[in-house]
Amino acid sequence: MADVLERQKRRPAAPPRDPRETLEPLLDELMRTLRFERAVVLLYDDERAALAGSFGTGVSDAIARELLIPLALVDDPIVASLRGGVPQLIRDATLDERISAPVRETLTKAKLGPIVAAPLRSTTERPAGQDGKRGAAPGWEHRGEWAGVVLLSRASGVTQSDVDALVPFARQAEEAITLQRDVDLLRDTSEAFAIEKEWLWWMVNGVGDAVLVTDSNNDMVLQNRRAELLFRASDEDSAGKRRAVWMNNFLFTAALSTWNLERTVATTGREVTLVDPIEGDELIYEVITTPATNYRVGMRGTVSVLKNVTDIRHIGEELARGRERLQSAEEEIRIERDRLDLVLRNVPNPIIVVDNDNHILSMNPAADRLFKPASATSRASHTALANDARFTSFLAGLRLDPALSKRGEIALTDPRTDDRLEMEVSATEIRDSRGAVIAIVSVMQDIGRLRELERRRLEQVLFDSEKLAATGRLAASIAHEINNPLEAVQNALYLLQKEFGGDAAKRPYLDIAARETQRMSRILRQMLGFYRQQEAMGATDLNALVEEAGGLVAKRLRERSVQIANQLDPGLPRIRASADQLKQVLLNLLLNAADSMPRGGTITVATQAGAGAETELFGRDAVQIQVRDTGDGIPDELLGQIFEPFFSTKPGKGTGLGLWVSQGIVQSHGGTMRVRSRVGRGTTFMITLPVQGPPSDARAA
């Protein structure tokens, strides 16, 4: 835009103006003093390369303008006066052969016979040959912007003294013309200013921002159209708009007066909130102020550019809110990640994430231990490398498995201790939205240690059952040894009772002896039952055993209004067990249940197949038998004692050996026996037995 202005400034000067105004007073003066009667002024016409008549004194302008003398006519004395810069004497122009016929005709019409032709020229001298004009006579240069000739005539004739008197005039005219030129120049300049002002108007109104100039009192001096929209209202405008404009003026003036406007450089970053006079909305403006001085009048002021940032600010606010939301989401993610990290860090299981090309993406410290040894010994790193290689080929094998989650076992070596690790690996594929595998997460579990624990436990069970068996054998052999003499005693007592049956005095002693010996033989029977030879072990159908035991006691239970309800799993596998011993266990439990229900009730016997849930039987095939009653239940404080030998709450009636023996039998089968009871509600005994029989057998198998 500056370019346009520059060009505008440098535009060619305006065409020469009619110098009549300047020349006329001069001519009048001259004609009066030198007593000339008529005059015609011819001016150099660049276009036509000729002297053209311009105006006359004592000659009508119309006639004057008929005159046209081409500069090419070098012999013409009028042309010569211009070329030579010296006034020429023409005694009678109407007859002068050097002058062309049409010109002479016009001169005759104008009554211009005797003539002095005086040159008129502006001042600037230009070296010849640099700027030759079209049509200009060779050797003659149009100098400056003004050139012409004045023809002065008197009817009484002209003389050489007239020529001499005109030399100073020519100079005077020249000066006058120079003066005239200055005036024209000024006029040109103000014209240029007007043009420049026009461009400036377009410039300040062309910008999208409101621009305004305020004086030192913060009063508005100048504003562009956008500023006018905000700050100017006329009486024709609505009251609302006038109020808004008033408000804006007030707000802006107030803002200006709070700002330090003295800073010599433009200041940005200031804001003012104004009202849209048309919509009534709030508008936020960023204001850039620049101090300005009008040197012409010595006034100080401020140029303010008001940039409408309402939308930007709203977008900015929206962005800030978005960023805040993003930040809090990021924070949440970070917390979540930290939490996950913490979990992974503290999980004892090694966890490895690999990409589809088996490159490790991440590992937890437990996995680091296996694949990135902390100690840098070559041995440890060698072991870690070997682990890595084994794991990679293991994963490659797993990939062939179509399942999403895969399991397998792998043997690794602990780089720190050189211990052999039996790892069970669960590998899960992570897929992207299109179903492509992007990662595989492998979680390892050292099952070697689990297996070791299990082995130790089995050893303990075996040891316990050996001990139990030894105790049992001892008890059984004692029982066996006592049984024969006891039978003899019972026989003798039987005979004595027969003999002294009528003697009321002796009879009670015999009865006591008979009852106690019966009791002794019951104890012995229990003990003997405990030790039935292990060779009796065989494939046993527990369901059949349950039915059989129930049948044996059915009559007795019916008399006491106790019912048996069996819930038998038809899919129950046969188990390796001693049928006789388990039958004894079932009988003990059924009788105990019946004893706990003096007013009758229901006994439920249920069997069920399935992997043992008990830690002792973990992972092995097992069966479960439950015996539930609806009896009195067992108080909590007694629960711990019921499996002890000779513990009984049935004085004179129970031996207290039933549960002790039963538990011994179950344990010798590698099983468990537990009780759950609630006073007033009933008791449940749960027996779990391994399908494979006692561990010694399982191992043998």
Interface with Mg ion by CB under 5 A: which residues? 592, 658
Mark the segment that binds ligand ATP (CB under 6 A) among 150-158, 184-192, 295-303, 631-639. 631-639
The CB-of-518 to Mg ion minimum distance in angstroms stands at: 16
Nearer to Mg ion, 543 or 662 (CB): 662
Cα torsion at 549, 552, 554, 557 (round to 10°)?
Answer: -90
Backbone angles phi, psi at 681, to 5 degrees: -110, -35
699 binds ligand ATP (CB under 6 A): no
Q: Of 444, 458, 427, whose CA–CA distance to 371 is shortest?
A: 444
Local structure of 642: helix, strand or coil: coil
Nearer to ligand ATP, 387 or 655 (CB): 655
The CB-of-658 to Mg ion minimum distance in angstroms stands at: 3
Site string for ligand ATP, 536-575 (x = CB under 6 A): ----------------------------------------
650 binds ligand ATP (CB under 6 A): yes
The CB-of-403 to ligand ATP minimum distance in angstroms stands at: 48
Put residue 397 in one of left, alpha, beta given phi > 0 → left and psi -120 to 50 → alpha. Answer: alpha
Applying CB under 6 A, the site for ligand ATP has a residue count of: 21
Instruction: Please give the Cα distance from 606 to 568 (Å, whole number).
Output: 5
655 binds ligand ATP (CB under 6 A): yes
The set of residues, in sequence order, having a beta carbon less than 8 Å from that of 229 and lying 6+ positions away, is 210, 277, 278
Judged by beta carbon distances under 5 to 8 A according to partner kind, the member of ligand ATP, Mg ion, none in contact with residue 272 is none
Instruction: Please give the Cα distance from 160 to 155 (Å, whole number).
Output: 16
629 binds ligand ATP (CB under 6 A): yes
Contact in structure between 287 and 304 (CB atoms under 8 Å): yes
Mark the segment that binds ligand ATP (CB under 6 A) among 184-192, 398-406, 464-472, 587-595. 587-595
588 binds ligand ATP (CB under 6 A): yes
Mark the segment that binds ligand ATP (CB under 6 A) among 195-203, 229-237, 410-418, 626-634. 626-634
Mark the segment that binds ligand ATP (CB under 6 A) among 16-24, 108-116, 127-135, 646-654. 646-654
Nearer to ligand ATP, 269 or 680 (CB): 680
Where are the strands (E) in 140-225, listed by range? 147-153, 210-215, 220-223
Nearer to ligand ATP, 308 or 588 (CB): 588
Nearest 5°: the CA angle 633, 635, 636 is 125
Instruction: Please give the Cα distance from 30 to 152 (Å, whole number).
Output: 10
Q: Of 488, 582, 517, 507, whose CA–CA distance to 543 is shortest?
A: 582
Number of H helices, E strands in the chain: 18, 23
Applying CB under 6 A, among 166, 440, 622, 634 the residue interacting with ligand ATP is: 634
Nearer to ligand ATP, 365 or 656 (CB): 656
Local structure of 674: helix, strand or coil: strand
Site string for ligand ATP, 452-491 (x = CB under 6 A): ----------------------------------------
631 binds ligand ATP (CB under 6 A): yes
Judged by beta carbon distances under 5 to 8 A according to partner kind, the member of ligand ATP, Mg ion, none in contact with residue 618 is none
The CB-of-442 to Mg ion minimum distance in angstroms stands at: 54
442 binds ligand ATP (CB under 6 A): no
Where are the strands (E) in 178-332, listed by range? 210-215, 220-223, 267-275, 282-294, 299-308
Backbone angles phi, psi at 121, to 5 degrees: -145, 150
Nearer to ligand ATP, 394 or 531 (CB): 531
- Chain centroid, CA 118 distance in Å: 92
Instruction: Please give the Cα distance from 544 to 540 (Å, whole number).
Output: 9
Applying CB under 6 A, among 149, 427, 593, 617 the residue interacting with ligand ATP is: 593
The set of residues, in sequence order, having a beta carbon less than 8 Å from that of 481 and lying 6+ positions away, is none
Instruction: Please give the Cα distance from 462 to 439 (Å, whole number).
Output: 46
Strands 537-540 and 267-275: unpaired
Instruction: Please give the Cα distance from 428 to 438 (Å, whole number).
Output: 11
Nearer to ligand ATP, 261 or 657 (CB): 657
The CB-of-571 to ligand ATP minimum distance in angstroms stands at: 28
The two structure tokens encoding residue 126? 């230009």
Nearer to ligand ATP, 58 or 633 (CB): 633
Applying CB under 6 A, among 647, 686, 697, 698 the residue interacting with ligand ATP is: 647
The two structure tokens encoding residue 509? 């002693």
Nearer to Mg ion, 372 or 525 (CB): 525
Nearer to ligand ATP, 58 or 645 (CB): 645
Q: How many CB atoms lie within 10 A of CB 145?
A: 22
Nearer to ligand ATP, 200 or 679 (CB): 679
Residue at 270: amino acid letter = R
The CB-of-540 to ligand ATP minimum distance in angstroms stands at: 22
The CB-of-527 to Mg ion minimum distance in angstroms stands at: 14
Instruction: Please give the Cα distance from 393 to 611 (Å, whole number).
Output: 33
Fill in the DSSP letter of residue 114: S
Applying CB under 6 A, among 199, 458, 656, 686 the residue interacting with ligand ATP is: 656
- First vs last C-alpha separation in the chain: 105
Applying CB under 6 A, among 58, 135, 408, 654 the residue interacting with ligand ATP is: 654
Fill in the DSSP letter of residue 536: G
Judged by beta carbon distances under 5 to 8 A according to partner kind, the member of ligand ATP, Mg ion, none in contact with residue 683 is ligand ATP
649 binds ligand ATP (CB under 6 A): yes
Binding site for ligand ATP (CB under 6 A): 588, 592-593, 596, 629, 631-632, 634, 642, 647-650, 654-660, 683
